[in-house]
Structure 1
Amino acid sequence: MEDSVSKGRLRVLIVGFGIAGATLAALLSQRGIHPAVIERADKGESEGYVLGLYPLGSRVLYGLNMHRRYRDISTKMERYVLHDPSGKILKEFPLDSINERYGDIRGVDRKLMLSLLRSGVPEENVFYNTTIQHIQNNDQNVIVTFSDGSTQMFDLVVGADGIHSEVRALLLSRNEFSYRPTGWGAWGLWRSLEGFDRSTYREVWADGWFVGLYPVQERLAVFIGGNKKMLADYTPAQYATMLQERIEAGILHSALQSLEGLEDSFFWNMEDCRSSLWSRNRVVLLGDAAAAFLPTAGIGASMAMDSAAVLADELSRTDALHLSGAITKYVARQRIKTERAQNNSRFLAFLMFKQAAATVQIRNSIVRKCSLNSLLKNIVRIMN
């Protein structure tokens, strides 16, 4: 690891090789800063589910010369359709207002997206099955102790290790970050895309349950979930069958047939996390480690990539002696913007996560009158 970071003018360690960490590592590698990257998982371990990317995040790929390949592995979304609990269309939201003004919203398999981003990082700089045990952090450097007992000195450590960040737990006291649980969760499943619209996201939010359909190339991602107390009584297969019985014949009903991955499906615990501090001395947080998102607006990965680009920009214009100024500027540029987007996700969760049928009816009558821009008010403001 020491050899890999000694090539650059800044000795940077990135903890976590997900969307945020891989984006930052690729950008820094391109700019002559050769970070070491550690990842707790195996190299071949499954890398998650599905992403929706706004142009706010995907524009970073132009600078990495990856945007054309990104378009090849992703699918343009042209509309978002909300259904009522019976499966009938409640309202259709065309995405033209965003796609034409800012760039396409696209759906992509997270595993393919990670593979693309990671292709910009030299393999010899990445160390799998590795975690951090201890951080000695001061104004001059950071001394890191790894899971194998070895230690190394860095100019900067970036915690990009997700919502349950080990770096954040070592950096901040427990009252400096907080989780916000919703009490809801969901399973992520797959099925064939044949017979389904390739450019439409579909969701139904009902009294204590929901279904979401998200096309990505040749597969359809199917999200089924609800109140976790209710989910505890079902396997994914049983829950899919129960939901199919509730929904009338139609596209949502059909999507719950022939599901794949029921035995080892990904479960998403719907909570978010916000850190009151993003940095301390020579350690900085990025992506979900700084602010983790609910999936309700589909903006989390985009904000992580945008933040990675800003951090790379600031690091490319400094040296080890003046690193604190670059960190301060990164936080100043990104924290308020990110929290506004997170607030938008929380607002949509407030609308969506309803337990009573009467409340769902009231919510649906309100949504019928809403525009896409009003539902995504903070996100549109950020893109502007």
Structure 2
Amino acid sequence: MRGTGVRVLVVGAGIAGLAAARTLRAWGADVEIVERSAAARADGAGIYLPGNAVRALDDLGLAGEVAARAVEIQRQRVSDHRGRSLMDLAMAEVWHGVGPCLALRHAELHQVLLAGATDVPIRWGGTVESIVDSGGGVRVAFGDGTREGYDLVLGADGVHSAVRRLLFGPSAAARPAGQYAWRFLARWPDSRPVWSVLVGRGSAFLTIPIGGGLVYVYCDGPLDAPRVPPRELLAGFAEPAPTVLDAALDGMRSGPIEEVALPRWSRGSVLLIGDAAHATSPNMAEGAAMAVEDALVLADCLAAAGSIGGALRAFEERRRPRTEWVRAQTHRRDRSRALPTPLRNLVLGRLGVRLFQASYRPLRDRP
């Protein structure tokens, strides 16, 4: 099927939405985006992109621009909360032949994706109030009172997707994954290109250098952790936790970790992609990869199919096994964190490298 004359609305100007806008515009469709934020956000913390995410960005034609703004992460290191090493792995052993692992500010990645979709109009500060699929097209009512018709609508509006709610109701809401997390940036000029995490009993402290003397920090604990500030939650953690917490910049964000699991991602000619369809715990760092892969696979399915409905069915058949694998691995990692500390440390020390490599092995293949 050719994209010429196909009118597409993308709801959400995040990673999934901007990637999809770029691929569908290249397919030939007439694409526009509606984004509830008033403008592109310049804040936010950091993001880590494993090898398959960078490969997907390369297929999108944007990996070089992302790499120019990023730090290439050479190793991943896991230690117990006192700093005793449990696992140390070179990323080249996991992602050789796929792509490098990169880390950068989230806003920098967003800027690259925005620049990659400059020919797609964005309706900033816009909301979608209703979506009606008549079988011959999709009628969308916007918050400003206007109505437009489309051939395809993509819900790329994140874990708390308004499109998902309109399609499937409140029963499709995101559900707690079991952790409460803090994300922020901190100054730490001496950091090396290492993804490094300290794991305690039910809590973790992760640092990833993103350049410019900054590290992206992620720490989490159980869902009742909001009552406990990070410094108290991480009491007794080894360096660099105390030093990095002292160097935290303003703008710390916190909230419960949530996931989205749905029996279907589409209804008629409306499709959910990215976190709106399959958000998971971030412990695999696969959110961006799954979002960009969604955009690439959707364009392939549309080009190969004879109809939009056939393309959406093919898309879900192709994508669901991969996203379900990622979700299963996040659950496995969460269960391992709940093991008694001596047993967890023993497993990570003896089997951690092998388990880590196995968890990513299917993702080495192209989506």
Q: TM-score, normalised by structure 1?
A: 0.88
Residue 292 of structure 1 pairs with residue 286 of structure 2: no
Moved more, 371-380 or 152-161: 371-380
Aligned equivalent of 1:255: 244
Matches within 5 A, 1:100-139: 100-122=96-118, 125-139=121-135
Whole-Å separation in 1 of the counterparts to 2:86 and 2:264: 41
Name which of 211, 215, 220 aligns with 1:225.
Answer: 220
Whole-Å separation in 2 of the counterparts to 1:274 and 1:244: 31
Give the aligned residue type for 1:212.
L
| Structure 1 residue 172: Cα displacement | 1.4
Residue 90 of structure 1 pairs with residue 89 of structure 2: no
| Change in 2 beyond 3 A, CA 1:376/1:166 | farther
8 Å Cα contact 1:29/1:120 also seen in 2: no
1:131-167, Cα deviation, whole Å (9 max, x unpaired): 1101111322100001111111000000001111111
Moved more, 55-64 or 282-291: 55-64
Aligned equivalent of 1:382: 363
Whole-Å separation in 1 of the counterparts to 2:222 and 2:273: 30
Whole-Å separation in 2 of the counterparts to 1:196 and 1:255: 11
Whole-Å separation in 2 of the counterparts to 1:369 and 1:132: 51
8 Å Cα contact 2:208/2:215 also seen in 1: yes
Aligned equivalent of 1:185: 180
Give the aligned residue type for 1:364.
N
Name which of 58, 67, 71 aligns with 1:62.
Answer: 58
Runs (4+) of structure 1 exceeding 4 A deviation are none
| Structure 1 residue 383: Cα displacement | 1.9
1:319-350, Cα deviation, whole Å (9 max, x unpaired): 7xx21111111111111211111111121122
Name which of 200, 205, 215 aligns with 2:194.
Answer: 200
| Change in 2 beyond 3 A, CA 1:178/1:336 | farther
**3-state SS in 2 of match to 1:96:** helix
Whole-Å separation in 1 of the counterparts to 2:143 and 2:174: 26
| Structure 1 residue 256: Cα displacement | 2.4
Moved more, 145-154 or 207-216: 207-216
Name which of 346, 354, 363 aligns with 1:365.
Answer: 346
Aligned equivalent of 1:270: 257
Whole-Å separation in 2 of the counterparts to 1:144 and 1:182: 32
Whole-Å separation in 1 of the counterparts to 2:270 and 2:313: 11
| Structure 1 residue 254: Cα displacement | 2.8
| Percent identity over paired residues | 24
Name which of 306, 309, 319 aligns with 1:324.
Answer: 309
Q: TM-score, normalised by structure 2?
A: 0.92
| Change in 2 beyond 3 A, CA 1:244/1:144 | closer
Name which of 152, 158, 173 aligns with 1:156.
Answer: 152
8 Å Cα contact 2:70/2:102 also seen in 1: yes
| Structure 1 residue 203: Cα displacement | 0.9
Give the aligned residue type for 2:178.
G
Give the aligned residue type for 1:267.
S
Number of aligned residues: 362
Whole-Å separation in 2 of the counterparts to 1:374 and 1:134: 45
Whole-Å separation in 1 of the counterparts to 2:342 and 2:269: 51
| Structure 1 residue 182: Cα displacement | 3.3
8 Å Cα contact 1:278/1:331 also seen in 2: yes
8 Å Cα contact 1:73/1:112 also seen in 2: yes
| Structure 1 residue 247: Cα displacement | 2.4
Aligned equivalent of 1:4: none
List gaps (5 residues or longer) in structure 2: none
**3-state SS in 1 of match to 2:350:** coil
Give the aligned residue type for 1:192.
R
Moved more, 300-309 or 221-230: 221-230
Aligned equivalent of 2:330: 345
8 Å Cα contact 1:80/1:95 also seen in 2: yes
